[in-house]
Structure 1
Amino acid sequence: MTMIEDRRALPMADHVRGKRSAVTCQFKCANACIGPECNQSGNEHFRDIASAAFSRRALLGMGAAAAVAVGIGLESGAPTSSPVAAGVGGAGASFGGGGGGAAGRGLAFDAIAPVDRLVDAFTVPQGFAWEPLVRWGDPLFKKSPAFDFAAQSPEAQAQQFGYNCDYLDIIADGNRRSGVLVTNHEYVNPGIMFTPTTDAAELRRRGDIYKMAQGMAVVELARKRDGGRWKYVQGGRRNRRITVETTFELTGPAAGSDLVKTKADRKGRHVKGTLGNCAGGTTPWGTVLSGEENFNGYFAWAADTAGQKRYQASASTSTSTGWETYDPRFDAHSADYVNEPNRFGWIVEIDPQDPKSTPRKHTAMGRMKHEGANVIVGRDGHVVAYMGDDERNDYLYKFVSKNRYDGRKGNSARKHNMRLLEEGDLFVAKFTGDSPAAEITGTGALPSDGAFDGSGTWIPLTRGGRSAVPGMSIDEVLVYTRLAADAVGATKMDRPEDVEPNPKTGKVYVALTNNSQRGTASALDEANPVTGNRYGHVIELTETRGQSGTTFGWSILLLCGDPATNANTYFAGFPADKVSPISCPDNVAFDSKGNLWISTDGAPSTIGYNDGLFLVPLEGAERGKVQQFLAVPREAETCGPVIHDRDGLVFVSVQHPGEDGAVGAQHSLFPDYGSTAKGAVPDAPRPSVVQVYRA
């Protein structure tokens, strides 16, 4: 078996310098930073390459704070004898008060001070409290077994809330007293789920548990009154688990292509399972989109063709599951399943209202390491989805539907809208700065015009159901989208993660989490202006001819970091000494007033504080004033923020708490913290969806 349950075997242990621990590098992204660069393109130079370079032969090769905290401080896995104070470090008084309510907008709160990275506490502002809404292992169906950490099984996990929840939405019904929670379950962490073993039979059994622990979940919610706190409903009619064994339908131009056919699916029309589900979005017609991100880490790869190498640069076995040792579809060395990885890396759409519906993978939206997809309806009625490819030096994309949105009520309109993502045009972004190259110094110092900004073009990869890339067929463009984007000279970005349009203004916000190779493996440019960008940045993008157009303007809203230690942070012109430190922006969201909220993933290893959720006003005198609302526990990532400010409610997924621990020496006890109440697991961390409310 190839499953790694011994921390000493982690390849990134001596290499981590960016946003993540070695554990996350191993299990979440298959050590993407330690291997050769996937993007070897020179971009601009590719425009002159003869079309023959993109023949099928070339692609395939020869083969086929003043705060409330609940928790305990942990050092090296050992609990302290008493609770620790929240908000360790930082100059909390300088952050000011009022939060988004300072100008009478949004959710009012006093920003918390940053929380030291060794504190195992979920920290919220004074006047707020929190509770887990649903946790890993909570039973979802009427006859689901209660979670038993010591007696896990594939059968039980298939009926329980999955592991490492990421994207999240809370979708209320019309009565606002019932609704559904939808979330992704991105990956597993064997080292804090089980004690180490070398027994082959036990490892295989655990591998089947991992299949059931990943994917997605739909969970019914209920509350006593409009605006009140939610509770999850065990046995809810719409409750559903989508796993690595769930059948998906492929849609769009690449469905049925030879590039997606396998021995088990000779027609190339249906795929078992979804993998690496990261961020997502909710459509105007009420379905949920999910991005398949780090799918490559689940396969044994040959990496002997241009197409394979562009998604994983070197050959390997799987990094955490060992599935290829007993499930042949995960062995991509095999001629029977060499195309199986091509069946992952798509945008997935599910209908949370119908637990019997077949979820779909939309090939028209391209294949990459999708962070997610977020949809807005343009003025012309076409649906536009924005997407980031989360790997260093990869690209920003958008999809424009062929057909127009039907805004009428009723099943007929919804049925029409549910097909909008099956046909359309795919574009990739080219950024151009407006400052002299000599003024982009790599330090983060602003150029002479006072802003990192410029213009951009959406370059077509497909048009009218046909390839727009010379030498590549439509199915090649969609299956090997990264190669197509290389060919047209797209701009290499600093790991574009969540990309979301503001529902109030239509402006688009791009979270660029970091890129330690900027300035070395990839050249500096005005859109990515910091050498060895450890802290990340956020770009504000304005479409110049509507959402469906092909030109845009852009400017950097935030250059992240801790102003106390980094002089060249930038917060849209707001005084840097009056903001909360922020590092590694990951997910973005908006409240009812159009304020930006940012969740982070990587602050502990870059600025020394636990990750959190931050409010950033986008208009008025406080534009750019970053204010921290909450902090997650030690070694956890803040995911999938949902802001229901009218109800005074905020929701986040807490992913991989205590990820560097081990069974018997856990680094976190979130969310139960020693409780012996019904359903609690007092001696192990449990990834959970948390509900924050006014106390």
Structure 2
Amino acid sequence: MSASAPERKLLPLFTPAHEGGRSKATCEFRCGNACFHDVPNESANTYFGDMVTANASRRAVLKTGGLTAAVVGLGTAAGALPAAAAGIAKKSPFGFTAIDAVPAGTDAVGVPAGFTWDALIAWGDPLFTDAPAFDFEAQTEAAQLKQFGYNNDYVGLVRTANNNRAALVVNHEYTNDNLMFAGYTSSAGLTDEQLRIIMAAHGLSVVEVTRANANSPWAYEVGAPLNRRIHTHTEFAVDGPAAGSDLLKTSADPAGTTVLGTLNNCAGGMTPWGTILSGEENFNQYFVQKGATTPEQLAAWKRYGIAGSSGRGWERVDSRFDLAVEPNEANRFGWVVEIDPLDPTSTPVKHTAMGRFKHEGANVTLTPSGHVVAYMGDDERFDYVYKFVSHGTHQAGNSAAARAHNKTLLSSGDLYVATFVGDGFEDGVSDGTGHWIPLVVDNESKVPGFTVEQVLVHTRLAADKVGPTKMDRPEDVEVNLVNGRVYVALTNNSARQPAQIDEANPRSSNKHGQVLELTPDAGDHLAATYSWKLVLIAGNPSDPTTYFNGYDKTEVSSISCPDNVAFDRSGNLWISTDGNALGNADGLFLMPLEGDHKGHLQQFLSVPAYAECCGPLIAWDDKTVFAAIQHPGESDDATYENPTSLFPYRGDRGPRPAVIQIRPEAKGKATTKGKGVTGNTGARIGDQGLGR
């Protein structure tokens, strides 16, 4: 940036300072300032507040260093990186030496010595042969519809029959309007064309990628047959029990079975049949709701954070975002959507059987009986964890018939919500038992006063009636396919009061979050009960309330605000962060779950200035980590004219969110250039390989 650049000024749209690590700009564009509004969950569901006294005794144990955990030996160091990376660093058992945390405003990404990265694809890169090259000064809706979208989040890789060719699928969660256009002051000042560009930049991208061999980096192909943009005007089919419900009908869709677009797509997951699941999260902020309505509708809008919303200005170019015009349009968002990246002619689907809330994502596993079980988090303070169990069973193989059958499995099933009960803090560990409370079973509502359609469309209201546990922003919920356990990223909750703490959410004013491990009884994901334990209570290791699965806290990295979890082929836990409240840049961390190094959390990378760590995908051969840099330069004083990041350092005038790939170098060179790597959403153990 030039030394003569004008003084930056705080944009008038921004709210007061956030209590956590997020910038005010993040709060504005990511979630519509959710934390500055009243908590939507006003139900009287328990916080298990009678454990407050026990919690105080736990803190006494923590202060004396008395927290320990048993060590389970594996014969070798758990957490070992792939053979390709082994031996690069001598100071760590993981194949790399942990990097030091860096201040949040540092415009570079830290990578361990011996690793390198490059940007695979960035916002505005052309996907089709007739798409123009990106130009900050000449953006158009027509161009953006054929270019890679903004703020990449989830990253999935679906292999074709050739292991060196795959479909890369990426969510585009939201846009930083102030960094996209010159002279931005508020959405009211945007032109109609700029609003249409913003709408086109949301959604998902499917991009064909190739490599020469397993030791080579990936590259994307312009004009490849599988390339596709899914955006705000893409047609989605609605299936499941709520399809055709009066709650989903609009003037443009009187049948209630077809929706245009998908919004605020956050995390995701890969299915065994080669499709991608994507969660619609903070959709509420796109709708204007200011007029009078029925008490029932107002209650539903309020529970989803819509009541009184001023929107993002989209109603100016598309009236369906004005709820006075189309009161049911908001009900058509907040779903899990399924995309088939191997069929560019396929119609994406919104699955109503899986319930409607602020989905961080959805991740599935197969039971021995062939049923599909999906775990989901509702990313809001004091909201819940859910489970879906399919009625149908999976058909093995990659034949067209098997894939067609398996693509129906999420259309019909049972829906549950979780409760967590602690066993007391006397053992010095936050753990206990829980059970799944039924919401819909065998196509019958289990919620008094709610029909099946009402449970599925107004899932939050229905869940409030059955007494689940209020959690600290449950985001990514994933199954570790090595140990069969489920891991829940609970990002933070500064609104939790001392009287509201419980063993699963053990801190008030929780700025740093925790990770919960859920073990189904008898290892059966169909079981109604489970045990659970907090394997990480995040923060500065010197803080006596933190916990690293019993590991010596003098040897671990600091971590704050776990957002998403991923697993490598050894079953080690990888954690990405969002909104670091310690003043450090967000990043990606490795924490083994078994062996001598269980709980030995080490930082693998950090992201550039004011970015979030997104999309960690540990490739099945463990030679590549895919990651997404989301909202680089999203500081309060950043503008189009005066950016605070230039990632991915291609010579552009401003930042461009990008997907990068991180690989071990042939020689142990330290990476300290003004470019870096990241990680954040929805990775599983490796990627989805078909036809191998």
Distance in 2 between residues matched to 1:490 and 1:19, nearest whole Å: 28
Cα deviation 1:586-644 (Å, max 9, x = unaligned): 111110111111111011xx111110011110001111111111111010001110012
Deviation per residue, 1:227-277 (Å, 9 max, x gap): 421001111100000000000000001110000001111010000000000
Q: Offset of 1:128 from its aligned partner?
A: 0.6
How far the C-alpha of 1:139 sits from its partner, in A, is: 0.4
Shift of 1:506: 1.1
Please give the alpha-carbon distance, in whole angstroms, between the structure 2 residues aligned to 1:200 and 1:393. Answer: 32
User: Is the Cα–Cα contact under 8 Å of residues 78 and 570 in structure 2 kept in the other structure?
Assistant: no
Cα deviation digits, residues 352-394 of structure 1 (max 9, x gap): 0011110000000000000000000012211000000000000
Name the structure 1 match of 2:515: 538
Q: Given residue 11 of structure 2, which amino acid in structure 1 is its aligned partner?
A: R
1:509 aligns with 2:509: no
**Which residue number in structure 2 is paired with residue 327 of structure 1?**
318
Q: Match of 1:465, as an amino acid?
A: N
SS in 2 for 1:125: coil
Could you say if the C-alpha distance between residues 202 and 27 of structure 1 is closer, same or farther in structure 2, counting changes exceeding 3 Å?
closer
* Whole-angstrom CA distance in 1 between matches of 2:205 and 2:622: 24
Deviation at 1:175, TM superposition (A): 2.2
**How many Å separate the matches in 1 of 2:150 and 2:317?**
22
Q: Distance in 2 between the 1:102 and 1:6 partners? A: 45
Per the alignment, residue 80 of structure 2 pairs with 101
Task: Please point out which of 290, 300, 318 is paired with 1:307.
Answer: 300
Separation of aligned partners in 2, 1:583 and 1:658: 20
Cα distance, 1:646 vs structure 2: 3.0
Corresponding residue SS for 1:24: helix
Looking at structure 2, the residues matched to 241 and 250 of structure 1 have their Cα atoms a distance apart, in angstroms, of: 19
Equivalent position of 2:71 in the other structure: none
SS at structure 2 position matched to 1:375:
strand
In structure 2, what is the equivalent of residue 8 of structure 1? 11
Residue 33 of structure 1 aligns to a residue whose secondary structure is helix
Amino acid at match of 2:197: I
Provide the secondary structure at the position in 2 that maps to 1:478: helix
Contact in 2 for aligned 1:642/1:650 (Cα 8 Å) = yes
Aligned-pair distance for 1:301?
Answer: 1.8
- Does structure 2 conserve the Cα–Cα contact (< 8 Å) formed by 1:11 and 1:31? no
| CA shift digits 1:45-65 (9 cap, x unpaired) | 9xxxxxxxxxxxxxxxxxxxx
The Cα shift of 1:560 comes to 0.2
Query: After superposition, what is the alpha-carbon deviation per residue over 1:91-123, rounded to whole angstroms, capped at 9, x for unaligned?
Result: xxxxxxx99338989862111111121210022
- 3-state SS of 2:20 partner: coil
Q: Which residue matches 1:683?
A: 653
Q: CA deviation at 1:409?
A: 3.5
1:624 aligns with 2:599: yes
What does 1:15-164 align with in structure 2 at a 5 Å threshold?
A: 15-43=17-45, 100-101=79-80, 108-164=95-151
Amino-acid identity (%): 52
Distance 1:6 1:506 in 2: 50
Deviation at 1:681, TM superposition (A): 4.3
Q: In the alignment, which residue of structure 1 is the partner of 2:611? A: 636
Whether the 8 Å CA contact 2:538–2:560 is kept in 1: the answer is yes
Deviation of residue 421 (structure 1)? 0.1
Q: What is the match of residue 552 of structure 2?
A: 575
Structure 2 CA distance for partners of 1:641 and 1:293, relative to 1, 3 Å: same
| Aligned: 1:340 with 2:329 | yes
Tell me the CA shift for residue 11 of structure 1.
4.3
Is the Cα–Cα contact under 8 Å of residues 129 and 692 in structure 1 kept in the other structure? yes
Alignment RMSD, CA only?
A: 1.9
Give the aligned partner of residue 237 of structure 2.
Answer: 249
The match for 1:396 is: 385
Post-superposition shift, 1:567? 2.3
Change (3 A) 1:10 1:577: farther
Give the C-alpha shift of residue 201 in structure 1.
8.7
The amino acid of 1:9's aligned partner reads P
The 3-state SS of whatever aligns with 1:648 is: coil
Where does 1:457-476 land on structure 2 (aligned, <5 Å)? Answer: 457-476=435-454
The 3 A distance-change label for structure 1 pair 141 and 526 is: same
- Partner of 1:307, secondary structure, is helix
Task: Name which structure has the greater RCO, CA cutoff 8 Å, separation 6+.
Answer: 2
TM-score normalised by structure 1 residue count: 0.86
Q: Which amino acid aligns with 1:477?
A: V
> 1: CA distance between counterparts of 2:427 and 2:662?
42
**1:218 correspondence with 2:206:** yes
What does 1:600-679 align with in structure 2 at a 5 Å threshold? 600-603=577-580, 606-644=581-619, 646-660=621-635, 661-672=638-649
Please state whether the residue corresponding to 2:481 is helix, strand or coil: coil
Counterpart for residue 91 of structure 2: none
How far apart are residue 648 of structure 1 and its match?
2.0
Map of 2:535 onto structure 1? 557
Match 1:692 to one of 656, 662, 666: 662
Quote the offset at 1:173 in angstroms.
2.4
Q: Aligned equivalents of 2:108 and 2:82: distance in 1? A: 30
1:317 paired residue number: 310
The residue type paired with residue 573 of structure 1 is G
Residue type of the alignment partner of 1:25: C
Q: Distance in 2 between matches of 1:236 and 1:103?
A: 31
Q: What number of residue pairs does the alignment pair up?
A: 612
Please give the alpha-carbon distance, in whole angstroms, between the structure 2 residues aligned to 1:594 and 1:19. 29
Whether 1:233 and 2:226 are equivalent positions in the alignment is no
- Distance across 2 between alignment mates of 1:314 and 1:6: 31
* Amino acid aligned to 2:40: C
Q: Which residue of 2 aligns with 1:595?
A: 572
Which range moved further: 188-197 or 178-187?
188-197
